[in-house]
């Protein structure tokens, strides 16, 4: 079930911040009333597609920050594995230089509550509770406003990497909606015309595009 328009699930979990420090209790609540958040899940540390996404978010971090958006990543790895990966050079498959928070969802409850956990718990024939599936997070991305409401979400299967520029476009679109009260049509980008949210405004837009 989609979280769009709903409060993002609350959590407290270990995380690595600033690329070098493990904190035992990290929460998105620290951003409430201060910053929006682009919260993304990835399957696993020390893999292949994941570092390309994590480093791409880092490369565009300044674009998010100047828009008042914090970037936070999460996977089901431990904080110690996060830290080891952060200390591994890029030319050896690491993500050295990444300085936004990486949450350690070891219990898998955060991924489960956000609806991105690949698998589920079930009972076997002996009535034992077991986990069926990969047990890692799909590539879920959640854009959360200052009030903690999810305004956009996408969930990709494990092999499908994200387009980080699209995440920035979504931020720009939401800010445009908030500032001007207009709605953003297909393929809208910052600087392009938007639409007045009424029949006359829509007709005028369609007639000129």
Catalytic residues: 50
Comparing CA positions, the residue from 129, 133, 126 lying closest to residue 112 is 133
Cα–Cα distance measured from residue 167 to residue 38, given in angstroms and rounded to the nearest whole number? 8
74 and 137 Cβ atoms separated by less than 8 Å: yes
Q: Mention every residue, 6+ apart, whose C-beta is less than 8 A from residue 100.
A: 57, 58, 61, 70, 71, 72, 73
SS (H, E, C) 59-98: HCHHHHHHCCEEEEEEECCCHHHHHHHHCCCHHHCCCCCC
Comparing CA positions, the residue from 43, 41, 17, 39 lying closest to residue 28 is 39
- As a residue count, the chain comes to 209
């Amino acid at each position: 079930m989609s979280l769009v328009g709903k409060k993002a699930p609350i959590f407290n979990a270990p995380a690595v911040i600033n690329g070098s420090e493990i904190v035992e209790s990290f929460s998105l609540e620290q951003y409430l009333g201060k910053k929006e958040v682009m919260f993304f899940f990835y399957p696993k540390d020390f893999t292949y597609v994941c570092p390309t996404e994590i480093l791409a978010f880092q490369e565009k971090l300044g674009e998010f920050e100047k828009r008042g958006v914090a970037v936070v990543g999460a996977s089901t790895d431990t904080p110690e594995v996060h830290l080891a990966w952060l200390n591994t050079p890029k030319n050896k498959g690491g993500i050295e230089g990444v300085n936004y928070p990486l949450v350690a969802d070891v219990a898998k409850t955060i991924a489960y509550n956000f609806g991105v956990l690949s698998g589920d718990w079930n009972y076997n024939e002996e009535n034992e509770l077991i986990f069926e599936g990969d047990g890692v997070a799909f590539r879920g991305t959640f854009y959360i406003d200052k009030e903690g409401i999810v305004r956009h979400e996408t969930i990709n299967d494990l092999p499908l990497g994200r387009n980080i520029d699209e995440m920035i476009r979504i931020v720009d679109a939401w800010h445009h909606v908030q500032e001007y009260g207009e709605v953003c049509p297909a393929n809208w980008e910052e600087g392009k015309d938007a639409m007045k949210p009424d029949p006359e405004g829509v007709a005028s837009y369609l007639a000129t595009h």
